[in-house]
Structure 1
Amino acid sequence: METSFPQFEQTSELGKVEIAPEVIEVIAGLAASEIEGVAFMSGGFVGGIAERLGRKNLAKGVKVELGETQTVIDVSIVVEFGVRIPDVATAVQENVNSAIQNMTGLDVIEVNVHVVSVHVKQGEEGK
């Protein structure tokens, strides 16, 4: 039985282009990871299992709600200790928004950033 997932579709005189939500998740995950101060993405239990099995999960920590021409993105990140969290979150929002709009043409309504933890580098505990 084949299940159909919502995806972004664009039709032109040459044919149809479909973009799966997983593609948008990867774009958002990579864009968020590029920001200085983001230690890593937080993917929860399922993402952790995939990584332990040797698969790199580029969509880790990203949830996409996809409409016909618009999308809402939720990104869960772990920040480095010492960074200004509002600045990092704003930079993540801007980079994710820009990457998705540039690569897919989708209108991004919201990029919600969830800071779930702070990463302390080894040797910085107790400073």
Structure 2
Amino acid sequence: MENGNTKVSAEYGHIRIANEVVATIAGLAATEVEGVTAMSGGIGGGIAEMLGRKNLTKGVKVEVGEKETAVDLNIIVDFGSKIPEVAKAVQENVKRSIESMTGLAVVEVNVHIQGVNFVTPEPKEEDRLK
């Protein structure tokens, strides 16, 4: 690893994959899974801090070596979701995405459930006019 980037030797030179690239792939792959409301900044960032697709690296921590990577994700799930199933789907999607896009071997994907999103129904038009 050099300056926080993955360095891979290639036939014509070196390929460097920045940690932020791996974190972005992981964040996007996690938010694609049904039942994941958002990424969370973690306990330090506050559970109430829910982030959309604009900042996919929030709630994602990666450790990248020359050939392997490990990922920690902090997520918020939808109320009513089966948390173990959502977490397993996140692990599989993140692993598949990182390995196919970067060629790095994903040794672990740790999913930390930081909260549950309770969906509140939108007020009806009649209720808003009262």
Same fold at TM > 0.5:
yes
Larger mean CA deviation between 37-46 and 20-29 belongs to 37-46
Q: In the alignment, which residue of structure 2 is the partner of 1:77? A: 75
**CA distance in 1: counterparts of 2:95 and 2:118, whole angstroms:** 28
The structural deviation recorded for 1:42 is 0.3
Identify unmatched segments of 5+ residues in structure 2.
122-130
The count of residues paired between Structure 1 and Structure 2 equals 115
Q: In the alignment, which residue of structure 1 is the partner of 2:92? A: 94
Identify unmatched segments of 5+ residues in structure 1.
none
Instruction: Give the secondary-structure state (helix, strand or coil) at the position aligned to 1:30.
Output: helix
RMSD: 2.1
The structural deviation recorded for 1:6 is 2.4
Following superposition of structure 1 onto structure 2, how do residues 108-127 of structure 1 map, counting pairs within 5 Å?
108-123=106-121
**CA distance in 1: counterparts of 2:118 and 2:32, whole angstroms:** 19
Identity percentage of aligned residues: 52
Question: Is 2:64 the partner of 1:66?
Answer: yes
Which residue, out of 30, 35, 42, partners 1:37? 35
Q: Highest Rg: 1 or 2?
A: 2
Q: In the alignment, which residue of structure 2 is the partner of 1:5? A: 3
Q: In the alignment, which residue of structure 2 is the partner of 1:20? A: 18
**CA distance in 2: counterparts of 1:92 and 1:68, whole angstroms:** 24
**CA distance in 2: counterparts of 1:31 and 1:5, whole angstroms:** 25
Instruction: Give the secondary-structure state (helix, strand or coil) at the position aligned to 2:55.
Output: coil
2:33 aligned partner, one-letter code: I
**CA distance in 2: counterparts of 1:10 and 1:68, whole angstroms:** 6
Instruction: Give the secondary-structure state (helix, strand or coil) at the position aligned to 2:30.
Output: helix
The structural deviation recorded for 1:8 is 1.1
Write out the 4+ residue segments of structure 1 that deviate beyond 2 Å after TM superposition.
none
**CA distance in 2: counterparts of 1:5 and 1:31, whole angstroms:** 25
**TM-score between the two structures when normalised by the length of structure 2:** 0.81
**CA distance in 1: counterparts of 2:89 and 2:3, whole angstroms:** 30
